[in-house]
Amino acid sequence: MVKTISIVINGRVHGVFFRRSAREKAEEAGIGGWVRNTPQGAVEMMATGEQAALDDFLGWCRRGPEKAVVTTVTWSEAAPEQFDGFAVRH
C-alpha cells in the first residue's frame, strides 16, 4: 500500500549534505517526493512510497548523513500525492 508522509527533522541538519543524502536514499528505496531546508533550521520532506520503504527511510532520517546530528524526527500521514522522482527544493 502506497502512503504519503510529511517529515520534519531537527538538529544539526543544515550544511551536512542532508538534502542530497536524503534524495539518494529515497531514490534507492523507490520513494518519490521532495526535501528542503526551512528558515528555522530544520529539514522538511514529503515522501510517497510503500510502507516498508517509508519505515526504512524514517530509520535513516533518525541518523542522517555522517556529519548530521539529528535531535528529533516528527512525521505524519499526508494526503496521497504522486511525485516524479525525489527533488531537492531550495
68, exposed or middle or buried, with CB in 10 Å at 0-12, 13-18, 19+? buried
Segment 44-57 shows an average pLDDT of: 98
- How far apart, in whole angstroms, are the C-alpha atoms of residue 11 and residue 78? 23
Answer yes or no: 19 catalytic: yes
Q: What is the pLDDT of residue 78?
A: 97
Q: What is the pLDDT of residue 21?
A: 98
Q: What is the pLDDT of residue 48?
A: 98
Q: Which of 19, 20, 62, 89 is catalytic?
A: 19
Does position 17 have pLDDT exceeding 90, yes or no? yes
Q: What is the pLDDT of residue 1?
A: 87
- CA 69-66-58 angle, to 5 degrees, is 70
Q: Which of 10, 12, 36, 37 is catalytic?
A: 37
- How far apart, in whole angstroms, are the C-alpha atoms of residue 1 and residue 29? 15
Which candidate, 17, 4, 6, 1, places its Cα nearest to that of 88?
A: 17
